[in-house]
Amino acid sequence: MNFYIIIPAHNEEGVISKTLASLAAQTLPAKRIVVINDNSTDNTQDIVETFVTMHSNISVLKTTSSNKHLPGSKIINAFYKGYDTLDEHYDIICKFDADLVFPKNYLEQLAFHFNQNEKLGMVAGFCYIKKSGDWVLENLTRKDHIRGALKAYRKQCFLDIGKLKPSMGWDTVDELLAKYYHWELLTDESLHVKHLKPTGISYNKASKYLQGEAMYKMRYGFIITLISALKLAYKKKSFTLFKNYMSGYFRGKRNNLDQLVTMEQGQFIRQLRWKGMLGKLK
């Protein structure tokens, strides 16, 4: 299987060498690895160029955007800069973060899963973070959710969902749309990926309403947004976050923001969400 990997990177000098070293050591090498150096002001470029000289499958592209780390649009816009440099001869397209350390068999195991099930559209392992000297599961979401840090898509699934949305919530709507188009998802608990920088550590304060806006743009509706906001805020132990999420939802509605999904897809998403929530109650 041909794996094409795109890695958006912004000021990652402390971690990106570990990410690239782990990918260079894969038992199943990626066909292409493209690092998008997005407006870095540190030594990210020099570090990546060192790997480029040693590995023919690694390349780097410099681009300039805002230096604010707004989740969603910045990282996906950078992703597309890299995607536009690639040809169509891939089987699996990956969007990986620049602060991950992968086990040596990671890509080989993904290929195994994809080959075993032609209906499988997305596969990933789990992120682990270091706490008190131990690597523990970064348990921010359900175990059946594939984290935005390590997305891997079968080519046809990627095309069916309309590729990636440059918006907060892209890493949720991709899964919802994959299910809409009858693709299956898989998370492999045996694949432990070290996440060197915990999620959200560098998000800009201006991003605080974007989660709620994303719920509006995914056509969750008020009740599902309310329940989702409560669950997220409870998990992160912050009532302020709940208020921000709901404020973002109403801001999106008031400003009539562009939706990420069609009305029909939105209806499917709401039914899927209700089914999931009612299933947990049972």
Phi, psi of 233 (to 5 degrees): -65, -40
Residue 26 lies in a domain: yes
Q: What is the pLDDT of residues 193-208, one digit of tens each?
A: 999 987 654 445 557 7
Residue 231 and residue 190 in one domain? no
When pLDDT is cut at 50, 70 and 90, the band that residue 237 belongs to is confident
- pLDDT for 278 equals 83
- pLDDT for 74 equals 87
Residue 189 and residue 161 in one domain? yes
Alpha carbon distance 2, 43 (integer Å): 30
Which CATH number goes with the domain that contains 11? Answer: 3.90.550.10
Q: What is the pLDDT of residues 121-147, one digit of tens each?
A: 999 999 999 998 899 998 766 788 999
When pLDDT is cut at 50, 70 and 90, the band that residue 245 belongs to is very high
- pLDDT for 67 equals 53
Residue 239 and residue 176 in one domain? no
Residue 202 lies in a domain: no
Residue 133 and residue 214 in one domain? no
Residue 249 and residue 155 in one domain? no
Task: Please give the C-alpha separations between residue 95 and each of 2, 36, 174, in angstroms, as whole numbers.
Answer: 14, 11, 12
Residue 179 and residue 226 in one domain? no
Task: Provide the percentage of residues in the chain whose pLDDT is more than 90.
Answer: 79
Q: What is the residue range of 239's domain?
A: 208-281
Residue 154 and residue 223 in one domain? no
What is the number of structural domains in the chain? Answer: 2
Examine the pLDDT at 181 and tell me if it is beyond 60: yes
The number of angstroms, rounded, from the C-alpha of 245 to the middle of its chain's C-alpha atoms is 20
Residue 185 and residue 264 in one domain? no
β strands within the chain, DSSP E: 3-9, 32-38, 58-63, 92-96, 100-101, 120-131, 134-137, 150-154, 184-195
Alpha carbon distance 258, 255 (integer Å): 9
Residue 156 lies in a domain: yes
Residue 146 and residue 237 in one domain? no
Residue 271 and residue 159 in one domain? no
Residue 153 and residue 21 in one domain? yes
Phi, psi of 132 (to 5 degrees): 50, 40
Residue 98 and residue 126 in one domain? yes
Residue 25 lies in a domain: yes
**Contact yes or no for 163/154 (Cβ under 8 A):** no
